[in-house]
């Protein structure tokens, strides 16, 4: 029996493959390499360079392997791009997920784990958000994730053998503590990645998008979760489904909020580099504060972040950035 990881050449997917291999699972990866890298697929997994919307490729994979579970990460993730190119996001994230779900169902897959997002909540307010908060996505990206959650909910309702688990990520950051994987996409908008790039000389400054929000220091507050902890939460979800757990969706965050200025100060402190920081206008669609209530993940999965403190997340992100620069200068 095998686990199929879509997007296994990408940031979170590659960490998931490491987690599965460490637990002696047989892992199959499908990735079209539109943002991922073939070198990022951990050795030991069977890799197919193909698109999840390619029915022929899916037929090949599902007939060549006895896939018991799918963990679905493949998709586009840049929120401002989704506002500019909504149909691309609905096409890649929603329509192709539908193709994948249909093939998984036809192949008798029993467990489907999905990479969802806090973006399904939109701007939930200043209190930690719980899973019962209504869907209110404010970008096509968030809406594309919400639609896939709804497809899974509805398919699970009429196919009792097919159960799904959606993990709504907050701000994922950091890198594998053993430095076997990290965030390598050249087009990241993520604050910790960008500040780590500034700390390692890849950019000359960091912009703070808005400092007049209703938060303690005026900059946006986010909940940062270490990518390795997140991969472990997915394994917990797989274990939960294998034990017969019902379909559900849970938040995955640390429960602590840090402002943009606090993150930048921590990156400077950890790296010892005092890079320039400048004020910039608010970025469209940014909510003042998004912090997870992760009680449900703790109760259902027994999950608690192991690398939850901000310094650890930043230390790993900076170290990965240095390794990536060394790899790129060799190439």
Residues labelled as active-site residues: 141
3 binds ligand UFG (CB under 6 A): no
Nearest-CA neighbor of 227 among 12, 10, 21, 6? 12
77 binds ligand UFG (CB under 6 A): yes
* Interactions with ligand UFG, residue window 118-157 (CB under 6 A): 118-119, 141
Q: Are 150 and 97 in contact (CB under 8 A)?
A: no
The one segment of 8-16, 152-160, 176-184, 187-195 that binds ligand UFG by CB under 6 A: 187-195
Name the minimum Å distance from CB 207 to ligand UFG.
5
220 binds ligand UFG (CB under 6 A): yes
Q: Among 117, 148, 156, 228, which residue interacts with ligand UFG (rule: CB under 6 A)?
A: 117
The one segment of 9-17, 82-90, 154-162, 201-209 that binds ligand UFG by CB under 6 A: 201-209
Q: Are 189 and 78 in contact (CB under 8 A)?
A: yes
Q: Are 25 and 10 in contact (CB under 8 A)?
A: no
Instruction: Take residue 179 and report the two structure tokens written for it.
Output: 């430095």
Binding mask 153-172 for ligand UFG (x = CB under 6 A): ------------------x-
Name the minimum Å distance from CB 324 to ligand UFG.
18
Task: Report the distance separating Cα 193 and Cα 91, nearest Å.
Answer: 27
Instruction: Take residue 106 and report the two structure tokens written for it.
Output: 């036809």
Binding mask 252-271 for ligand UFG (x = CB under 6 A): --------x-----------
Q: Residues 68, 71, 74, 80: is their CA dihedral positive or negative?
A: positive
Paired residues of 105 in beta bridges: none
The contact set with ligand UFG (CB under 6 A) reads 77, 79, 117-119, 141, 171, 189-191, 194, 206-209, 220, 222, 260, 283, 286, 290
């Amino acid at each position: 029996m095998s686990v199929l990881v879509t997007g296994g050449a990408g940031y979170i997917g590659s960490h998931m493959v490491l987690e599965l291999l460490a637990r002696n699972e047989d892992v199959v990866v499908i990735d079209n390499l539109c943002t991922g890298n073939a070198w990022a697929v951990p050795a030991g997994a069977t890799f197919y360079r193909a698109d999840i919307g390619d029915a022929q490729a899916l037929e090949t994979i599902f007939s060549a392997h006895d896939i018991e579970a799918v963990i679905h990460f493949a998709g586009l993730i840049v929120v401002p791009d989704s506002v500019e190119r909504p149909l691309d996001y609905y096409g890649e994230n929603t329509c192709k997920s539908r193709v994948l779900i249909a093939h998984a169902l036809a192949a008798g897959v029993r467990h489907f784990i999905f990479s969802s997002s806090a973006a399904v909540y939109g701007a939930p307010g200043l209190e930690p958000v719980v899973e019962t908060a209504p869907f209110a996505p404010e970008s096509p990206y968030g809406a594309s994730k919400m639609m896939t959650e709804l497809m899974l909910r509805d398919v699970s309702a009429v196919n009792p053998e097919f159960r799904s688990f959606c993990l709504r990520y907050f701000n994922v950051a950091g890198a594998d503590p053993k430095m076997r994987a990290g965030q390598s996409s050249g087009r990241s908008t993520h604050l910790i990645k960008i500040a780590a790039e500034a700390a390692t000389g890849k950019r000359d400054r960091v912009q703070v998008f808005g400092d007049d929000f209703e938060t303690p220091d005026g900059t946006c507050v986010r909940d940062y979760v270490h990518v390795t902890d997140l991969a472990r939460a997915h394994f917990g979800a797989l274990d939960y489904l294998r034990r017969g757990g019902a379909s559900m969706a849970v938040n995955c965050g640390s429960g602590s909020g840090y402002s943009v200025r606090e993150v930048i100060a921590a990156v400077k402190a950890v790296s010892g580099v005092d890079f320039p920081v400048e004020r910039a206008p608010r970025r469209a669609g940014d909510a003042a504060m998004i912090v997870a209530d992760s009680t449900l993940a703790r109760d259902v999965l027994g999950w608690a972040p192991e690398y939850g403190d901000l310094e650890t997340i930043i230390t790993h992100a900076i170290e990965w950035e240095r390794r990536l620069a060394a790899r790129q200068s060799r190439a």
